[in-house]
């Protein structure tokens, strides 16, 4: 005797299986789109840290060529924006495409601005943003070479900041990162 196959049994996916697969795929895409901006910001900040470290190397090279003197970077005892922003990298631009604004200052001028970047007196930039500690910065593009300083200071947020140093060749490079944090590397450290 021959068995007949069930006519009503059809092969395929049920609607519940399709909805479940779409929901899982949607969650995966959502997680990727949430994590992507943070990953991109982290990559830009890594590039900024590398650029700031290049600036430390450039300033050390400048000192070697000028008998260890940095004071001639400062003009008229005022914070001085360095003309060539290529002190930082070959393009002179931060990862967002904004030109770096490298400013040389002494610790005394820095400290007279309330132990924070004297951004109001140095940078008149329409792309400025306000950090959580109330200082104004153009994120990632404002960089300071603070002479007679190291990075042992700490601001109210716990971020490193320049502190006075009496060593003849002491300087600190201080710059802003995205997300409200800062970077400080001095002539004798590897960065913070």
Residue 89 lies in a domain: yes
Half-sphere exposure of 40 (CA within 13 A, CB side): 8
Residue 66 lies in a domain: yes
> From CA 48, how far away is CA 88, in angstroms rounded?
9
Residue 52 lies in a domain: yes
Residue 159 lies in a domain: yes
Find where tokens 């190397």 sit: 57
Residue 11 lies in a domain: no
Is pLDDT at 3 greater than 70 in this prediction? no
pLDDT score for 188: 78
Residue 9 lies in a domain: no
Q: Provide φ and ψ at 108, rounded to 5°.
A: -60, -45
Find where tokens 């393009």 sit: 91
Is pLDDT at 16 greater than 90 in this prediction? yes
Residue 120 lies in a domain: yes
pLDDT score for 70: 78
pLDDT score for 28: 94
Number of separate domains in the chain: 1
pTM score:
0.70
Question: 102 is in which domain, residue-wise?
Answer: 27-186
Among 178, 171, 97, 104, smallest CA distance to 137 is for 178
List helix spans (H) across 66-186.
107-112, 119-122
Residue 15 lies in a domain: no
**Tens-digit pLDDT profile for residues 80-138:** 888 776 788 888 888 888 888 888 888 888 777 654 554 444 333 334 444 333 444 44
Is pLDDT at 50 greater than 50 in this prediction? yes
List helix spans (H) across 3-132.
15-65, 107-112, 119-122
**Tens-digit pLDDT profile for residues 133-186:** 344 444 558 889 898 889 888 888 788 888 888 887 889 999 888 888 888 998
């Amino acid at each position: 005797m021959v068995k007949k196959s069930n006519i009503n049994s059809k092969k395929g996916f049920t609607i519940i299986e399709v909805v479940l697969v779409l929901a899982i795929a949607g969650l995966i895409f959502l997680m990727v789109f949430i994590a992507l901006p943070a990953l991109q910001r982290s990559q830009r900040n890594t590039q900024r840290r590398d650029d700031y470290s290049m600036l430390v190397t450039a300033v050390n090279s400048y000192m070697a060529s000028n008998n260890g003197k940095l004071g001639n970077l400062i003009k008229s005892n005022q914070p001085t924006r360095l003309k060539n922003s290529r002190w930082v990298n070959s393009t002179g631009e931060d990862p967002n495409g904004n030109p770096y604004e490298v400013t040389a200052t002494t610790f005394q001028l820095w400290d007279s601005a309330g132990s924070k970047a004297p951004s109001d007196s140095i940078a008149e930039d329409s792309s400025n943003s306000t950090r959580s500690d109330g200082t104004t910065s153009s994120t990632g593009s404002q960089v300071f070479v603070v002479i007679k300083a190291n990075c042992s200071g700490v601001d109210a947020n716990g971020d490193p900041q320049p502190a006075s140093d009496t060593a003849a060749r002491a300087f600190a490079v201080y710059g802003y990162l995205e997300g409200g944090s800062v970077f400080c590397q001095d002539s004798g450290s590897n960065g913070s």
